[in-house]
Amino acid sequence: MLGERYVSSKRRPSQLTLQLILLIKLQVTEEVRTAFQAESDINFTTAPSRLTYMQACLDEALRLYPPAPFLSPRLTPPGITEIAGHQVPGGVSLLFPIRSKEMLQ
């Protein structure tokens, strides 16, 4: 992605900033201006259904750069459990990177 070269060690805030800049420069400004007659018309109930492009951009940004790097820890059930072809004993706490969830789907 274009932003990969420009993000610093503060990856999340920098990436969010870049996404906002790209959204404004692209199509979102026009979409907002055509979807609403006045600023007072914009609210949380009407905006998602009218601003489909902006919603898609935000969803994609959060998919690629989720706000939390890991899913909540999980505890394996008693006995032996097979996970991705590996035998894991019961009672083991597992922590998965959030990107692994999308790779398994």
Residues 49 and 91 grouped into a single domain? no
How many other C-beta atoms lie within 10 A of the C-beta of residue 93?
8
How many Cα atoms occupy the beta-carbon half-sphere of 31 within 13 Å? 17
What's the total number of domains in the chain? 2
Residues 84 and 55 grouped into a single domain? no
Residues 79 and 99 grouped into a single domain? yes
Residues 43 and 14 grouped into a single domain? yes
Q: Is residue 69 part of a domain?
A: no
Length of the chain as a residue count: 105
Cβ atoms of 69 and 98 closer than 8 Å: yes
Domain region containing 98: 74-104
> Taking residues 62-70, what's their average pLDDT?
72
Confidence (pLDDT) at 80: 92
pTM over 0.85: no
**Per-residue pLDDT tens for 7-52?**
444 456 677 777 777 777 778 888 888 999 988 888 888 888 899 8
Residues 9 and 60 grouped into a single domain? yes
Residues 42 and 85 grouped into a single domain? no
